[in-house]
Structure 1
C-alpha cells in the first residue's frame, strides 16, 4: 500500500499543489515578469529614441550637405563670373593701352617730323645767311678793287650820316 500512495492521487495534496502552482505563478509574474517587461520596454523606448535621433541627425546632415553643395555651386558661378569680368576688363584695358600707345607714337612721329622740318628750315636759313655773308664779302672785295680810296671814304661817311639820322 505504500507504493500505491506514491502512484495514486490524493485529492488534498493535488489541491495544495495546484494552489502552490498558482501562488508561484502570481509571484513570478509580479516580481519577475513585470520588472523584466518594464526594463525591456525602457530599453525599447531608449532604442527607439536613439533611432529617431539618428534619423533626425541624418536628415540634418543631408540638409547641411545640400546647403553646402548649393553654396559651393553659387561660389563657383560667382568665381566664374568674376573671372569673366576680369578678363573683359583686362581686354578693354589692353585695347585702351594699345590705342594710347599708338596715339602717342603718332604724336611723337608728327612732332619729330615738325622738328625735322624746322631744323631743315633753320639749316637752310643759316646756309643762306652764310652764302649772303660770303656774297657780301666777295662783293666787298670786288668793290674794293674797283672803288678808289676816296670813293670808299665817301661811302663810309654817307653810311655814318644815314645811321645817325635813323637813330
Structure 2
C-alpha cells in the first residue's frame, strides 16, 4: 500500500517543476505567439484606422469640393447677373449718347439753317435796298431833272428805307 500512496501523494517538487514548466511554456508561447499575434492585430487595426482616416479625409474633401462648387455656382450666377446689368447700363448709356449726339446735330443743323436764313435775309434786304435805291435815283432824276451826287443819293436812300421800315 505504500506504493499506492506514492501515486496519490502530493510531491512538492513535482508541483514546482510543473509550475516552472508551465511558466517556461507560457514565456515561450508569449514570445512566439502572443507578440506576433498582437503585432498582427495592431497592424490590422492600423490598416483599418488608416482606411477610416482616408475615408473621412475623402468625405471632408468631397464636402469641401461640394461647398466650393456651390460657391462658384453662386458666384457665377452673380457674375452673370452683373454682366447682364452692365450690358444693360452700357446699352442705355450708348443709347443716351446716340440720342444726345442726334439732338446736338439737329440743334447744330437748326442753328446753321437759321444762320443761313438770316444771311439770305440780309442779302435779300441788301439787294432790295440796292434795287430800291436805283429805282429811287431814276425817279428822283426824272422828278428833279438833275443828277444827284453820291452823298445826296445815300441820304435819300437811307431816309426812304427808314420810312419803309416804319
Q: Normalising by the residue count of structure 1, what TM-score does the alignment of the two structures yield?
A: 0.69
Cα separation, partners in 2 of 1:35 and 1:114, compared to 1, 3 Å: same
Partner of 2:52: 59
| Match status 1:137 vs 2:135 | no
CA-atom RMSD in angstroms: 2.8
Which structure has the higher relative contact order (CA within 8 Å, separation 6+)?
2
- Structure 1, residues 100-138: CA drift from partner, whole Å, max 9, x if none? 111111111122111111111111111111111111111
State which of 147, 150, 155 in structure 2 corresponds to 1:149: 147
Partner of 1:37: 29
Whole-angstrom CA distance in 2 between matches of 1:137 and 1:157: 14
Whole-angstrom CA distance in 2 between matches of 1:76 and 1:30: 66
Which aligned runs of 4 or more in structure 1 are off by greater than 6 angstroms? none
Partner of 1:121: 114
Where structure 1 has 5 or more consecutive residues not aligned to the other structure, the ranges are 1-21, 160-167
Partner of 2:74: 81
- How far the C-alpha of 1:145 sits from its partner, in A, is 2.5
Where structure 2 has 5 or more consecutive residues not aligned to the other structure, the ranges are 1-13, 141-145, 158-166
Q: Normalising by the residue count of structure 2, what TM-score does the alignment of the two structures yield?
A: 0.70
Whole-angstrom CA distance in 1 between matches of 2:151 and 2:59: 118
